[in-house]
Structure 1
Amino acid sequence: MQQMLVPIRYAYTDITAITSHFRDKLGQGGYGSVYKGVLLPGDLHVAIKMLEGNSNCNGEDFISEVSTIGRIHHVNVVRLMGFCSEEMRRALVYEYMPGGSLDKYIFSSDKEKTFSWDKLNEIALGIARGIDYLHQGCEMQILHFDIKPHNILLDSNFVPKVADFGLAKLYPRGNSFVPLSALRGTIGYIAPEMISRSFGVISSKSDVYSFGMLLLEMAGGRRNANPNAANSSQSYYPSWVYDRLTEQQVGDISPVDDMHELEKKLCIVGLWCIQMKSHDRPTMSDVIEMLEGGVDGLQMPSRPFFCDEGHVHVDDSYHLSSELTAISEEEDELFCFVLLN
């Protein structure tokens, strides 16, 4: 029982044996490669992430933070089962998620891989509960900074689990200051304050922004940015869906009449989450309440992105660099730092 509650330390030779000499590669991420392995006895499948040698933290920090993260037990957070730390060789041993990552389902053209609106709402709630637990349910606040479909894994029953919450992201709860060295993220999901402090402090609200972008992609069944869209007004989904939800047409037919009630709810909650100023966004606890309730009680937020009265213009991607740079040129140094790192 004790072994199940804390991460087990493995030797590198154990890791090579568990992975059968790294035979079955599951994927490649920003921090290293992930391999499938089997723990004996019991034939328990695991996913082993081999961290790149240029990891920021030293051995002591690594083990200390692994110890903290290893005490996380939540149905919507992937469980850390073990680790390896031998000189520059570092590995994290996680429970294996047979359902794979969420992006394979929400961006799939295969109808067999699509979820019903009820299931999507259930998955969204699970993800929100997992993030909220990282923010408030642990001894130390854990900020993810890279919430995206690829980092949401599904078990055999399609229960979502937040994964890849990394290391060196532990902060005392209530501490609003996050050092610049902690910055990371993926273009398209990264909160504006991660690029320019003009938009607020970096905090748990930065994860809320990323979750909002994820929620909109779940609702739209597509990536938020599609520069190849036939209609330019639909190239940036958050802008398009905001207009659709707020348009008033003459007559009895509303532009949102054909939207499913749960689709509408996911979109409205997502639009609240991606407000540009961090203090205008809800907390993850608030998000859970909104997702648990009905759509009728939800008010539309303010327009949450930079644009004129028309639409956001996107070129080859939907990062906010041009808008952010134009609005706060004094932050050039910080902006360059984020782009280069």
Structure 2
Amino acid sequence: MHLGRFVCTKFSLLHLFLLCCGAKTLPYQCQKPSSCGQILNISHPFGLKGDPGNCSEEPLYQLECENDNTVFYSKALKYYVLAINYQDSTIRVVDAGLLQRNNCSSLPFRSFSSYDLQDDFLYLRQMGMATVLYLSCENPVDSSHYIDTRPCTHGVYNPANRSSMERQYYSYVMLGNRNVSEIADHCRIDMVVKSSSPTIYSENLSYADIHNQLLYGFQLGYSWVNPDLDHCGFLCMSGIITADLFGNAASLIALIIVVGRLCTLPLVVAFLIYKWRRRHLSMFDMVEDFLQSQNNLMPIKYSFSEIKKMTNGFKTMLGEGGYSFVYKGKLRSGRIVAVKILGKSKCNGQEFINEVITIGRIHHANVVQLIGFCAERSKRALVYEFMANGSLEKYIFSQESGTSLSCKKMYEISIGVARGIEYLHKGCDMQILHFDIKPHNILLDENFIPKVSDFGLAKLYPIEDSMVPHTAARGTMGYMAPELFYKNIGGISYKADVYSFGMLLMEMVSKRKNLNAFAEHSSQIYFPSWVFDQLSLGKEIEIGEITDEEKEIVKKMVMVSLWCIQMKPSNRPSMNKVVEMLENEVCCLQMPPTPFNLV
């Protein structure tokens, strides 16, 4: 027994010695330096794509040379490399969008997120890092902290162009680490940019000056060696000892053959356990590192003990979901909040990050506000504004007295929901696809103003992307767009949310599930089909005792819904158009085609 353990131990050392000293160090030594533009002597761990070399492996970080500019791509985002410092293991990059026009009207391609740059080796260098917030405000702001951008960005940066509402917006930038509570109520954060410039906090800077500071870029740190091989240096330095232990080459080969079967299984098991632990630790670290890097912009960060205190030991539960529980809480200021505790899920923290990166900076009347968060290893919580009237679901499906809403109120709620989704699609620097629009995820405040919530399945894409990479079916049955199941119907886009909204709107009209096997008449089992037939025949839609005014509202909501649930995505309107249709008179609407075919 002891002999077998001794042999396996020596075999493991030999295996690591060969792996580290033979297979892994040679390529690093053989790489030839290369240059691109002002970046000279590019060498390990970097390399230029397409460069000839005599190495058997690609460099750890692959750069590209475009028009004498050294370019670094991370998750399809483009950065120009400004400097590489091999002494302190840093690389300084700048968003390529800032150099588009060679003047201060150039803007980044997208808002900064360290999650976009996260991999096994890169990390954000926080020391000396400055944050610049781009804000759009409905009213002018008289504050030295708000620096007017219009001298540079007039005609270029105009958030109003991304909304159906024709408004005058005032655009500013703000320097420094700010909590969202410090932002004026009538302002919203549209973009975030990072800079490592040592002089960005100089006094009396104009926006043109700040833009020049942003061109300095920001620093990323990198690791020279694969973390899985941290002990290689020690083993290589100890090569002579390992050789002495095992003898000559022939003995080594014989030893490997003899003990291979003895050692393979335990080695594999041990290796898998190690990798599993490292992967899960990395997941926790990724969540915490991401939130730490965003902490200057995010709502308040709470400890888990503070979360327990504000919920009075999780005393009052408001609801629960697949992987979460929601409790009523109270802040020290006296404000009532809803605290969402996330449990373990198969997403390894991705749902938590999704919620944070999508709604952490959003300020909109029809999107729920994130007040704070907690991230302590596996303990994660999100603190939201309290929605006194709960979810829309109970007002649609509940038979309890006192939960029924008038037709006019449902109509007002539908417009609010549509505006919230429209903002997600076109009002941010990235389009946010929710992928789970349903009654349960529409919350109502004390005045029954609706707010879109639960962004665990959301995805972010560039505004200009009309189609997004195919994603696995995500959402809730009954509200999911058909293209998520059938690729031949059409590509996946924001039209998937339009479909879900249409199914939601139909249920708001009928106050029942769209599919109801217990309907009074068999023709009404699938409500959208029945209601389309009624409209096609010119009949009125009979839904309880309603006034003539309410009949017009019902007809309008039904027609808009039928446009939204068209089988073919290209036949569905945008949410911008949906808002317009809901606000217009019913006589202005065209009769939709049958939603149930691909013509």
TM-score (norm 1): 0.82
Q: Partner amino acid for 2:366?
A: N
Write the letter of the residue equivalent to 2:310: I
Alignment partner, residue 165 of structure 2: none
What residue number does 1:269 align with? 560
Q: Distance in 2 between matches of 1:168 and 1:245?
A: 34
- The whole-number CA distance in structure 2 between the counterparts of 1:45 and 1:277 is 44
Give a deviation string over 1:4-40, Cα, whole Å, max 9, x none: 1541111111111111221111111134111111111
Over the residues paired in the alignment, what is the CA RMSD in angstroms? 2.3
Q: Say if 1:31 and 1:283 are closer, same or farther in 2 by CA, change over 3 A.
A: farther
Conserved 8 A contact 1:226-1:235: yes
Q: Give 2:530's aligned amino acid.
A: W
| 1:251 matched residue in structure 2 | none
| Greater RCO, 1 or 2 (C-alpha within 8 Å, sep 6+) | 1
Q: Which moved more, 1:194-203 or 1:237-246?
A: 194-203
Q: Does 1:46 align with 2:223?
A: no
Q: Once the 2 structures are TM-superposed, how far is the Cα of residue 57 of structure 1 from its aligned partner?
A: 5.2
1:221-240 Cα offsets, whole Å, 9 max, x none, are 11111101231101110001
Identity of aligned residues (%): 54
Whole-Å Cα distance in 2 between the matches of residues 263 and 255 of structure 1?
A: 10
| CA distance in structure 2 between the partners assigned to 1:273 and 1:179 by the alignment | 21
Q: Taking structure 1 as reference, are residues 110 and 306 closer, same or farther at Cα in structure 2, changes over 3 Å only? A: farther
8 Å CA contact 2:355, 2:455 repeated in 1: no
Native 8 Å contact 2:434 2:457 kept in 1: no
Distance 1:197 1:8, change over 3 A: same
Equivalent residue of 1:78, what SS?
coil
Preserved CA contact (<8 Å) 2:180 2:361: no
Listed as ranges, the gaps of 5+ residues in structure 2 are 1-177, 184-297, 543-547
Distance, in Å, in 1 between the alignment partners of 2:529 and 2:457 is 34
Aligned partners of 1:46 and 1:159: how far apart in 2?
Answer: 16
The 1-side partners of 2:483 and 2:426 are apart by 21
Task: State which of 91, 98, 120 in structure 1 corresponds to 2:388.
Answer: 98
Paired with 1:20 and 1:86, the residues of 2 have a C-alpha distance of 19
Matches within 5 A, 1:151-170: 151-166=441-456, 169-170=459-460
Asked if the contact 1:143/1:165 (under 8 Å) is kept, the reply is: no
Q: Which residue of 2 aligns with 1:320?
A: none
Higher strand share: 2
Distance in 2, Cα, partners of 1:242 & 1:300: 10
Cα distance change, pair 64–278 in 1 and its aligned pair in 2 (3 A): closer
Instruction: Give 1:317's aligned residue.
Output: none
Correspondence 1:2 to 2:154: no
Alignment of 1:142-157 (within 5 A): 142-157=432-447
- Please tell me the residue identity of whatever aligns with 1:39: L
Report what 2:502 is aligned to: 212
How far residue 110 of structure 1 moved from its aligned partner, in angstroms, is: 4.3
Tell me what 1:244 maps to: 534
Q: 1:178 to 1:10 in 2, by over 3 A?
A: farther
Structure 2 vs 1, CA of residues 179 and 86 (structure 1 numbering), >3 Å: closer, same or farther?
farther
Alignment equivalent of 1:86, drawn from 368, 371, 376:
376
Q: For residues 220 and 203 of structure 1, do their structure 2 counterparts lie closer, same or farther at Cα, with a shift above 3 Å needed?
A: same
Q: Does 1:190 align with 2:367?
A: no
Please, which of 455, 471, 483 is the counterpart of residue 180 of structure 1? 471
Aligned to 2:347: 56
The residue that corresponds to 1:107 in the other structure is: 397
Distance 1:19 1:82 in 2: 14
Q: Secondary structure at the match of 1:260?
A: helix
**SS in structure 2 opposite 1:212?**
helix
SS of 2:374's equivalent in the other structure is strand
Q: Alignment partner for residue 21 of structure 1, among 313, 324, 330?
A: 313
In the TM superposition, 1:297-308 aligns within 5 A as 297-305=588-596
1:63: how far off? 5.7
For the residue of structure 1 that corresponds to 2:588, the secondary structure is: coil
C-alpha deviation, 1:276, in angstroms: 0.5
**1:166-195 Cα distance to aligned partner (Å, 9 max, x none):** 2652222122223425x4211111110111
Q: Structure 2-normalised TM-score?
A: 0.47
Q: How many residues are matched? A: 299
- Helix, strand or coil at the partner of 1:214: helix
Greater shift in the superposed pair: 84-93 or 205-214: 84-93
User: Aligned partners of 1:121 and 1:303: how far apart in 2?
Assistant: 23
Largest Rg, 1 or 2? 2
Match for residue 136 of structure 1 among 421, 426, 441: 426
* Separation in 2, partners of 1:32, 1:149: 17
Q: Show the counterpart of 2:569.
A: 278
- Contact 1:57–1:168 (Cα < 8 Å) also in 2: no
Query: Could you tell me how far apart the structure 1 residues matched to 2:379 and 2:522 are?
Result: 48
Structure 1 residues 270 and 3 mapped into 2: Cα distance closer, same or farther (>3 Å)? closer
Q: Tell me by how many angstroms 1:271 deviates.
A: 0.4
1:39-78 Cα shifts (integer Å, max 9, x gaps): 11x211111111222352558x956962552110001110
Q: Which residue of 2 aligns with 1:292?
A: 583
Contact 2:180 2:299 in 1 (8 A): yes
For 2:363 and 2:514, the matched residues in 1 are separated by: 32
* Structure 1 residues 112 and 64, CA gap change in structure 2 (3 angstroms): closer
The runs of 5 or more residues in structure 1 that have no matched partner are 249-253, 308-341
Question: What SS is found at the alignment partner of 1:180?
Answer: coil
Question: Matches of 1:245 and 1:79 in 2, distance apart?
Answer: 39
